[in-house]
Amino acid sequence: MSITTTTPAWHDVTASPSDRVDALLSELTLEEKIAQLFGVWVGASSEGGDVAPHQNDMDDVIDLDALLPNGLGQLTRPFGSAPVDPALGALSLLRSQRRIVASNRLGIPAVAHEECLAGFATWGATAYPVPLAWGASFNPALIERMSHRIGTDMRSVGIHQGLAPVLDVVRDARWGRVEETIGEDPYLIGSIGTAYVRGLEAAGIVATLKHFVGYSASKAGRNLAPVSVGPRELADVLLVPFEMVMREGKPRSVMHSYTDIDGVPSAADESLLTGLLRETWGFDGTVVADYFGIAFLKMLHGVAGSWGEAAALALTAGVDVELPTVKTFGAPLVEAVRSGDLAEAVIDRALRRVLRQKVELGLLDPDWDASPEALRGVNIDDTQGIRGTIDLDNAGNRAVAREIAEQSIVLLSNDGVLPLTAPRRIAVVGPTADDPFAVLGCYSFPAHVGVQHPDTPLGIDLPTLLDSLRGEFPDAAIEYVAGTTIDGGETTGIAAAVEAAARADIVIVALGDRAGLFGRGTSGEGCDVESLRLPGAQQELLDAVVASTTPAVVTLLAGRPYALGSAVSGAGAIVQAFFAGEEGTGALAGILSGRVNPSGRLPVSIPATEGTQPSTYLAAPLARSNSVSSIDPTSAFPFGHGIGYSDFAWTAREHGPAVIGVDGVATLGLRILNTGERRGAEVVQVYVHDPVASAVRPVQRLVGFHRVELEPGESVDLSIHLPADVTSFTGRNGERVVEPGEIVVGLGASSTDIRISHSVQLTGAPRAVGFDRAFHLSFDEVVRGGA
């Protein structure tokens, strides 16, 4: 007698995803449903064994043996919680997935997620420049190449979801997480963020937009502090990057913000997570909790009286998955449903989204295999034999990291001292010169986790700036004096630094930040500051060295912009690097020598004084310097600024009609000629100025940019097409509108260096636009050739 087995309907790859989801959902008990809606924070075994629960201050004791029979939605950071050899980490994850599948009666695997803000956050993986450096590159295509490499590495070892990018708009540079943002302009963030998501998603990784929304606008730049923005700032500044990336990048997940906006926490805001995100924008992916964010509804926000109430608020609002570990979505949520406080249909709504994602990832296919690509064909029983066989910091990764570092470092000023030509004696002073961590952000693995394991090697090569300078200038005598520490405030070493400068032909002053978490650094999550004064006694060191007779080149390896005092006018040159990653010091040394022609542009303004926050370049007339306030917020170096070793001539070409409809497209012509003696890059930035509008508008607002690289004597003719949609804003009735009237289009090298202006008259009735509006200008390179 033969026995016929029936393939479960959710394993039928010929069925639609929704039919497969419905079939599986109908088989699950309440406890099994809820188990798919939370993660467990684990750490990979350094010997390749099963993962073990990761303990931290907010965790309850996790009994995996008790949890797994009901299944598990997510595995939290199996690679990113402790140093582990990548191959053994992949083996540990493989065995854990097999255990999960074997433990639950329907054989459902878990989604594994990791941090990937500036690279795959695991031991031995490439540390790329931080997002603020991505913004400084003004090169979306390069960032897409990087994120694809990150995603490929993650996918190769069994990871499914990455918790990036950060799309918060800098509103107050005192906030510690500025380093994680792409900048202070919504359009720049949206453009770079879209590229990052495309690269990650193309590699098969679920990209997660965060932090939705308003996190960066917290009062006084304090982490998790309340947000009190109005609806227009929310719609026209903070939401724009999410809107752009949602439509053009197609991410599959969103993470809610910790903060509340006008008293409503994002994790409990149904109008935000369901009304806007899903019903207006059409998002059909998953919304995941920022770590412990649902528990914070009870613990910090005080809008829930119990864990079950917090869970019900979040689920009703539109949160689907509790991360990093089960707290409110376990027994408290089961009880809330059993008692009738929450309808099971709300659970089913979230579960459909979670299961659909597992279908898309192939986790519910009948031939799903827990073995990741990097371990296929490998004898996994030979634990020691596979150690060291996976390279997450290969030459291709490092080449992209180096290219981003080189294109993101910004030359702020130069009186001719750079590039350095065969200096004989170089003095190097400052606390970041001999610190290998000076190029890393707080979510890099060495800074985030590695510092807790001081006896474990870093896993990647991190040359200090001093190392790179010695390699770049092998014939120079280099003397190093720290002068002070990053934030200790010591001044006793400043005199020795000045003496070293006096003995040298040139002095390089290396200043900046140390990334860390919750007060353990000068930049990073929870490392907010009272002012934009350089940490510790660095300003005193800087002032003393600049006052000496030796030409000074100031280099900043930092996570935020700082006021630079006397150096703005007194230094021979100033070079700004935003945590430029493992290839950063080599790129910086190359710029000093002239091997690299700098082309970075500021994604955030550099303040002239340390106490003028909050302020950004997106300022209305009364937010700028004026006669009715004694505070002048004018920046020392504005958004978009950056110079190089080449000069470019800008010439207006024939523009299109000066009058267009409110649904029309304006055309501008521009010629860029490299008048310098070496190949260089210019970034054409397009700004709009709205002289008269129904609501107060910024004086200048970036609406497009185009990076061009030209040989000496080479020129390019650009036709720039600007759709009227990009002039839109939120009108008085709360709807986004293109208004008739004059718009002044500025073509410039920065937000304050407008080289060519063109007035365009928009005609017709006010025109409402929405999510489907045009976001971008187009740039046609009409002619490219010699002058």
- DSSP conformation letters of 364-413: TSTT--S--GGGTTS-TT-HHHHTT---SS-HHHHHHHHHHHHHH-EEEE
Between 538-546 and 494-502, two packed helices, what is the crossing angle to 10 degrees?
Answer: 30
C-beta separation of 426 from 473 below 8 A: yes
CA distance 216 to 604: 14
Q: Which of 153, 148, 147 is nearest to 165 (CA)?
A: 147
C-beta separation of 232 from 198 below 8 A: no
Which residue is it, tokens 């002289």?
A: 691
Omega cis (within 30) before 240 = no
CA distance 514 to 492: 21
Beta strands in 627-738 (DSSP E): 635-637, 648-653, 659-661, 665-674, 680-689, 701-710, 714-723, 729-730, 736-738
Phi and psi, residue 432, nearest 5°: -95, 0
CA distance 196 to 194: 5
C-beta separation of 710 from 674 below 8 A: yes
Q: Tell the burial category of 63 from Cβ atoms under 10 Å away from its Cβ (0-12, 13-18, 19+).
A: exposed
Beta strands in 108-258 (DSSP E): 111-114, 161-162, 206-212, 253-256
509: tokens are 């002053």
Report the half-sphere exposure of 274 (CA within 13 A, side-chain side). Answer: 17
CA dihedral for 181, 183, 186, 192, sign (positive or negative): negative
Query: What residues of the chain score a pLDDT lower than 50?
Result: 1-4, 51-53, 55, 57
The overall longest dimension of the chain from CA atoms, in Å, is: 99
- Angle among Cα 276, 277, 283 to the nearest 5 degrees reads 140
Report the half-sphere exposure of 557 (CA within 13 A, side-chain side). Answer: 35
CA distance 245 to 175: 23
Question: In which element (H, E) is residue 542 found?
Answer: helix 538-546
CA distance 423 to 444: 34
Length of the chain as a residue count: 787
CA distance 578 to 221: 19
CA distance 299 to 276: 27
Distances (CA, A) of 427 to 93, 186, 481, 513: 49, 40, 8, 21
Helix (H, G, I), strand (E, B) or coil at 18: helix
Query: How many angstroms from the chain centroid is the CA of residue 776?
Result: 21
Kindly report whether the global pTM for this prediction surpasses the value 0.95.
yes
C-beta separation of 525 from 210 below 8 A: no
Q: Would you give the DSSP letter of residue 427?
A: E
Distances (CA, A) of 765 to 739, 740, 744, 762, 768: 7, 7, 19, 9, 10
Phi and psi, residue 147, nearest 5°: -65, -30
pLDDT of residue 5: 59
Residues facing 680 on adjacent strands? 710
Q: Tell the burial category of 138 from Cβ atoms under 10 Å away from its Cβ (0-12, 13-18, 19+).
A: buried
276: tokens are 């806007």
C-beta separation of 165 from 637 below 8 A: no
Hey, what amino acid is at 707? Answer: R
Question: In which element (H, E) is residue 93 found?
Answer: helix 86-103
Distances (CA, A) of 539 to 32, 504, 542, 685: 58, 21, 5, 32
C-beta separation of 523 from 514 below 8 A: yes
| pLDDT tens digits along 19-65 | 999 999 999 999 999 999 999 987 655 655 554 445 454 657 788 89
- Angle among Cα 119, 683, 465 to the nearest 5 degrees reads 45
Distances (CA, A) of 707 to 142, 277, 718, 775: 11, 32, 11, 18
Helices (H) and strands (E) in the chain, counts: 22, 30
Q: Which of 298, 291, 292, 294 is nearest to 273 (CA)?
A: 294
Question: In which element (H, E) is residue 511 found?
Answer: strand 506-512
| pLDDT tens digits along 450-486 | 999 999 999 999 999 999 999 999 999 999 999 999 9
Kind of pairing between the strands at 260-261 and 161-162: unpaired
Question: In which element (H, E) is residue 425 found?
Answer: strand 425-429
pLDDT of residue 782: 79
Residues facing 759 on adjacent strands? 744
Which strands, in side-by-side order, build the sheet including 736-738?
Answer: 729-730, 736-738, 767-768
- Rg, C-alpha atoms of the chain: 27
273: tokens are 């997570």
Q: Alpha helices, DSSP H only, in 203-284?
A: 231-233, 240-249, 270
